[in-house]
Structure 1
Amino acid sequence: MIYTLKNPIKNFPWGSRTAISDHFSIANPNLEHQAELWMGAHPSASSRITLEGVDVPLCDAITNNPSYWLGNCLQSSTPSLPFLMKILAAEEPLSIQVHPSKIAAEIGFTTENEQGIPLYAGNRNYKDANHKPEFIYAITPYLAMNGFREFCQIIDNFDFLELSTLKDIFQPFKQDPTPLTLASFFSSVLALKGDLKVLAINELISSIKTVDKEHFLYQASELISRLYILYPEDVGIFSPLLLNVIELQPGQAMFLHSETPHAYIHGLGIEVMANSDNVLRAGLTPKNIDADELVKNTLFQPIAFEKLLLQPCNNDLERKVYPIPVEDFNFDMLNPQYLMTLNTSSPEILLCLSEQVTIMTGTETRELSKGESVILPATLGRYHILGKGSVARAYC
């Protein structure tokens, strides 16, 4: 069967009041900050479906009949959908954050449970026992930070700005740029307090005023100025000097591994991730920051800028398949020109991104308009798509 998804929307302060409603015609009568629309079965905000005439959470439907829904994805004693798809609309920057590895999440979740920290307490780091690698596909220009810059770039950035306040903590990394010295420098920046923090931030803001449009630091300096307006007392404004700054164009995509520092700045996109809500924050947020836990879960390795974009592994006009480097999910962009036939042995979420498409099985037909989504159970097998719209497809 084909099941229409009724999806919850998360209203966070950084979310756009208009992007989701304007692009997908999803109502926002109270002009709330619609930050994320969740499509999936995470227990904290599960989609809902109609099952035998009754409206039920998808997570409960899967728990009650795991073999029907999950098929080959049923790999543990606690059955759940392995992935979560979102429409993400950032009007203002999200926090600088890292997601833990699978092992670290399991340990952290167990430890915080044993400590008796309520699951949704403000000081809780681990909401579940899963890792959270992510994939983002840009619908509009999508500005983000992803991973540490190459070491030579970090050194050039701080050398040019000549921030005397940071000289003592920067020199060990400059003289011997390694993951270990980067970890020490990064931790020291996060640990700045009181008058020293104020001096460092003021010096940074004064220094970037010397950067013109032709300079290699211009993009980073523009972002620092923007972050400073929102978070004038937050050391997170140093992050564009340390992290790659990239603006995806519509149709471009990138992958973010666990243990990689990143932040989404602005734009509308489709995000697919392992089914987790674990976030460790370093700055640019009023939420709980646990710098020590974040550093412990960060991989201090550079990522070359030219390796940030994730290209589809085929050139098919109708179906672009992205080489997702984890087992939790796969992602395709479908643009049916004629009747497209697909086979599934896993659960699938289909989101219509433009125009309208028709999904057909041997027994039923369902039309999907822009912004509408469905889930297909693993037992469905073969199905067909016809229409002129584009469809985001998440599966495992």
Structure 2
Amino acid sequence: MSLFKLDNVIQNYAWGSIDSIQTLFGIANPNNQPQAEIWMGAHPNGCSKLSESGELLSHLIDDNKTEVLGEYTAARFGELPFLFKVLAAQTPLSIQVHPNKQNSELGFERENAQGIALNASNRNYKDPNHKPELVYALTFYKAMNGFRPIDDIIALFEENQIPSLASALSTLKTHADSNALKAFFTTIMSLEGEGKNRALEELYAAFEKPAKTAMGREAMQYSMDFKKHYPGDIGLFAPFMLNTVELAPGEAMFLFAETPHAYVQGTGLEIMANSDNVLRAGLTPKHIDVKELIDNTIFEPINPEDIRLQPVLKEGKKSYPIPVDDFGFDILSATQESKAQYMRSAEILFCVDGEVTITAGDKSIILTAGESVFISNHLGKYHYKGNGTVARAYN
């Protein structure tokens, strides 16, 4: 038997929504807690279980990796290489950068040698893996993703007039390249004490003035909203440096390693490499290691028009182009006509809406919104039909 319905862990982080997961999927929230994430996968901090037996998914995989994961995945990764989530943000998450694979391996080894505990507050590297991510919006989904074009950064800081940053801004204007952007970002991230307080007071004064451009108005609104949750935080400058984006339901974007980003508000599906490495850059009371952050950030702007992924459409399936081999992501539209899906790895299917029957081998499972299944690779294929939408995670 190789088709399993999953019982998944719900993570109750403080930034989570109290009602979004319940509203979308009918999942009870009897204690009225913030339901931030549903984890689907074999991560030790929130491993899914097989509904029928209660066995951990990680145990199923470890007992026969080649059969369950497939020969390539078992040899290449040695584990389920992705973590699949529903993420429901009511308040902003921290601004983050995820290190690349090589730096993650070196940093993990270095901090182990220094004797820094894995759960220490000043630990940067929790594992030796990178953490590219894709997010697919289920509701309108606000976020920040990558540096704005340098001309836009200059225009926004000129519009808001922060005298404390005038010299740094002048240097950025003179050179307007990645090195100048790095210097400008470093200046802001390194502000401390009186200098930091003065710059923020100048920003708050700018809040009182009417916006002069649509871009400036949107950036200002993000910053003002951040102040409600993180007053005095250096991350309040982030919307003037990073692209602000609001995905509509059904839109998706990719978040590269070494690229600053933040999820601000909304509910979506998120799939990522199986890692927990985070270097923070604001909107957080947690540890910020500015040097490590700068060393792991690429200072190349992203054109706002390039943020949304364009899916490849084929016979009721949307496939999203992903530049890493840790995971793949599709959206399947089920109809009453049974469709076959061939497999190249183990898969997790999550029912976004409606009702869909998944058949693999001699077993069928009916999924309704919010439910998921795990399918072992050795089956080779499965069929799906019904009236609904299924998100497909694989690698």
TM-score for both structures, normalised by structure 2: 0.96
Partner Cα distance (1:214, 1:243) in 2: 16
What is aligned with 1:172? 171
What is aligned with 1:38? 39
Q: 1:335 aligns with which of 330, 333, 337?
A: 333
Q: Within the alignment, does 1:163 sit opposite 2:162 as a pair?
A: yes
Cα distance, 1:208–1:238 mapped onto 2, change above 3 Å: same
Q: Within the alignment, does 1:307 sit opposite 2:306 as a pair?
A: yes
- 1:289-339 per-position Cα deviation (integer Å, ceiling 9, x unaligned): 21211111100000000000001022x361111111111111110012221
Task: Give the SS at the match of 2:7.
Answer: coil
Deviation at 1:214, TM superposition (A): 5.3
- 1:337-394 per-position Cα deviation (integer Å, ceiling 9, x unaligned): 2211111130100000101110112311111111000111111112110100100001
Deviation at 1:113, TM superposition (A): 1.5
- Name the aligned partner's letter for residue 373 of structure 1: S
Q: Check the 8 A contact 1:211/1:221 in 2, yes or no.
A: no
- Name the aligned partner's letter for residue 27 of structure 1: A
Partner Cα distance (1:4, 1:269) in 2: 21
Q: Check the 8 A contact 2:73/2:345 in 1, yes or no.
A: no
Deviation at 1:227, TM superposition (A): 0.7
What is aligned with 1:265? 264
What is aligned with 2:28? 27
Q: How does 1:13-162 map to 2 (within 5 A)?
A: 13-49=14-50, 54-76=53-75, 79-162=78-161
Deviation at 1:74, TM superposition (A): 2.6
Q: How does 1:238-249 map to 2 (within 5 A)?
A: 238-249=237-248
Deviation at 1:168, TM superposition (A): 2.0
Deviation at 1:128, TM superposition (A): 1.1
- Name the aligned partner's letter for residue 67 of structure 1: T
Partner Cα distance (2:195, 2:164) in 1: 7
What is aligned with 1:323? 321
- Percent same amino acid among aligned pairs? 46
Q: Check the 8 A contact 2:133/2:271 in 1, yes or no.
A: yes
Task: Give the SS at the match of 1:387.
Answer: strand
Q: Check the 8 A contact 1:345/1:380 in 2, yes or no.
A: no
Partner Cα distance (2:93, 2:138) in 1: 18
Partner Cα distance (2:175, 2:81) in 1: 41
Q: Check the 8 A contact 2:66/2:74 in 1, yes or no.
A: no
Q: Check the 8 A contact 1:165/1:199 in 2, yes or no.
A: yes
- 1:176-222 per-position Cα deviation (integer Å, ceiling 9, x unaligned): 01111111111110111111111111111211332348543010011
Q: Check the 8 A contact 2:159/2:212 in 1, yes or no.
A: no
Comparing 370-379 with 41-50, which one deviates more in the overlay? 41-50
- 1:58-110 per-position Cα deviation (integer Å, ceiling 9, x unaligned): 22321221011110443548611011110000000000000010001111111
Partner Cα distance (1:54, 1:47) in 2: 12
Comparing 279-288 with 134-143, which one deviates more in the overlay? 279-288
Deviation at 1:54, TM superposition (A): 4.2
Q: Check the 8 A contact 1:72/1:345 in 2, yes or no.
A: no
Partner Cα distance (2:72, 2:41) in 1: 14
Q: Within the alignment, does 1:196 sit opposite 2:171 as a pair?
A: no
Partner Cα distance (1:201, 1:77) in 2: 47
Cα distance, 1:395–1:197 mapped onto 2, change above 3 Å: same
Q: How does 1:283-302 map to 2 (within 5 A)?
A: 283-302=282-301
What is aligned with 1:2? 3
Partner Cα distance (1:76, 1:279) in 2: 26
Partner Cα distance (2:155, 2:226) in 1: 21
Comparing 202-211 with 150-159, which one deviates more in the overlay? 202-211
Comparing 215-224 with 346-355, which one deviates more in the overlay? 215-224
Q: What is the root-mean-square deviation of aligned Cα atoms in Å?
A: 1.5
Q: How many residues of Structure 1 are paired with residues of Structure 2 in the alignment?
A: 393
Partner Cα distance (2:293, 2:16) in 1: 24
Partner Cα distance (1:294, 1:128) in 2: 17
Q: Check the 8 A contact 2:83/2:273 in 1, yes or no.
A: yes
Deviation at 1:152, TM superposition (A): 0.6
Partner Cα distance (2:274, 2:28) in 1: 26
Partner Cα distance (2:307, 2:283) in 1: 22
What is aligned with 2:375? 376
